[in-house]
């Protein structure tokens, strides 16, 4: 079994967080922007901790200044994902970085991204959808125009609304107005919770934002009653595993639905193939385990039934 060739679904990928450092460096050069402090000597992204990661992420993103830049980024990321066997990706996309959450500008950025995604699907067979994402440390007032961008472009490629950023800022419920607006527009909901925040952050995400998927969620392992609630309410976790004593296996064995993603792959020096290799090495996962998480991801994906049926055929075609 080649782990690289196994068909994979990825539900948690930040578009800017997947930007190859070489693409960002090249664009910075073209535009004569100095972002040298973003990189280490070996050319990879350089950050000390999570809050610094967020600031380096925003500095790298600052070179992406037009819809065409985002189309180039989308093409590069989908090519890389397809080369790791990914057949379906859900991107976190951020109107805050694409025209400052102005609806007219956002439509232009989105159009360029969608065109690139459609081309990649035709050429490489990788399908994708977008989850419009507000950024928690920008505050609840900034989230409202972002949610309006989401609501105005709901349907088609945009199928979800979510929140990333610094989980230690405020409470999940501070963003309820924006999540309500997105829900009323028919969007599916997710948020980052239980990445750095503990069980309280996860409870608030379920109670106050009423999300159906959690990004990360791994800190719930501290609270088994909450773990059981995730099982009861059929909440799916999208996990970026860090390998020492990672709770993914314990959560899965208890019955929580888990999926695997790379989040911001070049920042964390990973790929979907590498995640699969680690799962095989650390927990002895085999083809049947990978098939099970792909099926979980397919069931939890924010896409239409026809797309799911096509993806199910691709999973079925692959020998176990």
Catalytic residues: 195
- Give 6 or 220: the residue with its C-beta nearer to ligand ADE: 220
Residue 139 has phi, psi (to 5 degrees) of: 95, 160
The 184-203 contact track toward ligand ADE, x by CB under 6 A, reads --------x--x--------
Partner from Zn ion, ligand ADE, none binding residue 10, C-beta < 5-8 Å depending on class: none
- Residues 262 and 228: their CA atoms lie apart, in Å, by 25
Residues 6+ apart with CB under 8 A from 258: 236, 237, 239, 248, 251, 252, 293, 296
**Residues binding Zn ion: number (CB under 5 A):** 2
Residue 14 has phi, psi (to 5 degrees) of: -80, 125
- CB atoms inside a 10 Å sphere around CB 320: 10
- Residues 55 and 38: their CA atoms lie apart, in Å, by 9
The 155-174 contact track toward ligand ADE, x by CB under 6 A, reads ---------xx---------
Residues 204-233 that bind Zn ion (CB under 5 A): 215
- Residues 268 and 282: their CA atoms lie apart, in Å, by 18
The 231-270 contact track toward Zn ion, x by CB under 5 A, reads --------------------------------x-------
- Give 10 or 264: the residue with its C-beta nearer to ligand ADE: 264
User: How near is the Cβ of 191 to ligand ADE at its closest, in Å?
Assistant: 10
Partner from ligand ADE, Zn ion, none binding residue 165, C-beta < 5-8 Å depending on class: ligand ADE
Partner from Zn ion, ligand ADE, none binding residue 195, C-beta < 5-8 Å depending on class: ligand ADE
Partner from Zn ion, ligand ADE, none binding residue 247, C-beta < 5-8 Å depending on class: none
- Residues 160 and 236: their CA atoms lie apart, in Å, by 15
Using the rule CB under 5 A, is 167 a contact of Zn ion? no
DSSP three-state, residue 172: helix
- Among positions 10, 96, 114, 264, the unique one binding ligand ADE when judged by CB under 6 A: 264
User: How near is the Cβ of 268 to ligand ADE at its closest, in Å?
Assistant: 8
Q: Helices marked H in the chain — which ranges?
A: 21-30, 50-61, 67-82, 103-124, 140-152, 176-184, 199-204, 224-232, 248-254, 272-283, 287-300, 305-317
DSSP three-state, residue 292: helix
Residues 6+ apart with CB under 8 A from 285: 276, 279
- Describe the crossing of helices 140-152 and 103-124 by its angle, rounded to 10 degrees: 60
- Among positions 263, 270, 296, 301, the unique one binding ligand ADE when judged by CB under 6 A: 263
User: How near is the Cβ of 20 to ligand ADE at its closest, in Å?
Assistant: 16
Which residues are bridge partners to 155 per DSSP?
Answer: 158
Give the residue at shortest CB distance from Zn ion: 263
Partner from ligand ADE, Zn ion, none binding residue 114, C-beta < 5-8 Å depending on class: none
Name the site residues for ligand ADE (rule: CB under 6 A).
14, 17, 57, 164-165, 192, 195, 263-264
Kindly list the residues in this chain that would bind Zn ion in the complex (CB under 5 A). Answer: 215, 263
């Amino acid at each position: 079994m080649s782990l690289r060739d196994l068909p994979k679904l990825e539900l948690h990928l930040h578009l800017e967080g997947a930007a190859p450092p070489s693409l960002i460096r090249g664009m910075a050069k073209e535009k004569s922007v100095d972002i040298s402090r973003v990189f280490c000597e070996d050319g990879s992204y350089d950050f000390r901790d999570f809050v610094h990661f967020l600031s380096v992420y925003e500095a790298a993103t600052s070179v992406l200044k037009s819809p065409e830049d985002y189309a180039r980024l989308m093409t590069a990321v989908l090519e890389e994902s397809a080369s790791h066997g990914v057949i379906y990706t859900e991107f976190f996309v951020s109107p805050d970085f694409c025209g400052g959450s102005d609806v007219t500008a956002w439509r232009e950025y989105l159009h360029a991204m969608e065109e690139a995604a459609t081309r990649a699907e035709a050429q490489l067979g990788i399908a994708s959808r977008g989850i419009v994402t507000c950024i928690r440390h920008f505050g609840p007032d900034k989230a409202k125009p972002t949610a309006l961008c989401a609501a105005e472009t709901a349907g088609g490629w945009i199928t979800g609304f979510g929140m990333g950023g610094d989980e230690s800022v405020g409470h999940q419920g501070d963003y309820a107005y924006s999540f309500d607006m997105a829900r009323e527009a028919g969007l599916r909901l997710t948020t980052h919770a239980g990445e750095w925040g503990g069980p309280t952050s996860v409870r608030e995400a379920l109670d106050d934002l009423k999300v159906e998927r959690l990004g990360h969620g791994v800190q719930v392992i501290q609270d088994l009653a909450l773990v059981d609630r995730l099982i009861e309410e059929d909440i799916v976790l999208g996990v970026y595993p860090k390998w020492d004593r990672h709770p993914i296996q314990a959560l899965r064995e208890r019955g929580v639905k888990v999926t695997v993603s790379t989040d911001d792959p070049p920042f964390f020096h990973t790929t979907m193939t590498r995640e699969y290799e680690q799962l095989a090495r650390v927990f002895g996962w085999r083809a049947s385990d990978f098939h099970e998480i792909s099926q979980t991801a397919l069931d939890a994906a924010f896409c239409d039934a026809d797309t799911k049926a096509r993806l199910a055929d691709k999973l079925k075609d692959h020998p176990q």
